[in-house]
Amino acid sequence: MTDFRKSCVYQIYPKSFYDSNGDGLGDLAGVTAKLLYLKELGVDYIWMTPFFVSPQKDNGYDVEDYYQIDPRYGTMEDFETLAAKAKECGIKLMLDMVFNHTSSRHEWFQRALKGEEKYKNFYIFRKGKAPGVPPTNWESKFGGNAWEYVPEFDEYYLHLFDVSQPDLNWDNEEVRLEVQKIVRFWMEKGVRGFRFDVVNLISKGEFADDETGDGRRFYTDGPNVHKYLRELNEATFGQDEGIITVGEMSSTSMENCFRYAGQDSHELSMVFSFHHLKVDFMGNEKWVLVPFDFQKLKNILFDWQQGMAEHNAWNAVFWCNHDQPRVVSRFGQEGKYWKESAKMLATVIHCLRGTPYIYQGEELGMTNAHFTDISQYRDVESLNYYRILQEKGLQAKDAFRIIQIHSRDNGRTPMQWDESVNGGFTTGTPWIGVNDNYRTINAEAEMADEDSVFYYYKKLIALRKEYDVIADGDILPISPKDPSAFAYERRLGNQRLLVINNFYERECEFCLEENLDSFEKLLSNYKGPDGRSMGRIHLRPYESMVLYKKE
Q: Which of 64, 197, 231, 409 is an active site residue?
A: 197
Residue 432 phi, psi (nearest 5): -140, 150
Alpha helices in 67-199 (DSSP H): 76-88, 107-113, 117-120, 173-188
203 touches 126 (CB < 8 A) = no
The answer to whether 293 is a known catalytic residue is no
- d(C-alpha 118, C-alpha 271), whole Å: 33
Which residues face 2 on adjacent strands? none
Using CA of residue 221, residue 222, residue 224, residue 229, what is the dihedral sign? negative
What's the start-to-end Cα distance of the chain, in Å? 30
CA distance 101 to 86: 30
Q: What is the 3-state secondary structure (H, E, C) of 29-61?
A: HHHHHCHHHHHHHCCCEEEECCCEECCCCCCCC
Chain CA centroid to CA 330, Å: 15
User: Which residue in the list 58, 248, 362, 379 is annotated as catalytic?
Assistant: 248
- Provide the β-strand partners of residue 48: 12, 95
Q: Quick check: 368 and 405 in contact, CB under 8 A?
A: yes
Q: Note whether 235 and 284 are within 8 A (CB).
A: no
248 classed as catalytic = yes
What whole-number distance in Å separates Cα of residue 546 and Cα of residue 489?
Answer: 10
For residues 387 and 1, give the distance between their C-alpha atoms in angstroms, rounded to a whole number. 50
Residue 151 region by backbone torsions, left for phi larger than 0, else alpha for psi between -120 and 50, else beta: alpha
Helix %, strand %, coil % for the chain, to 5?
Answer: 35, 20, 45
Neighbours of 24 (CB within 10 A): 18
Q: Which residues are catalytic?
A: 197, 248
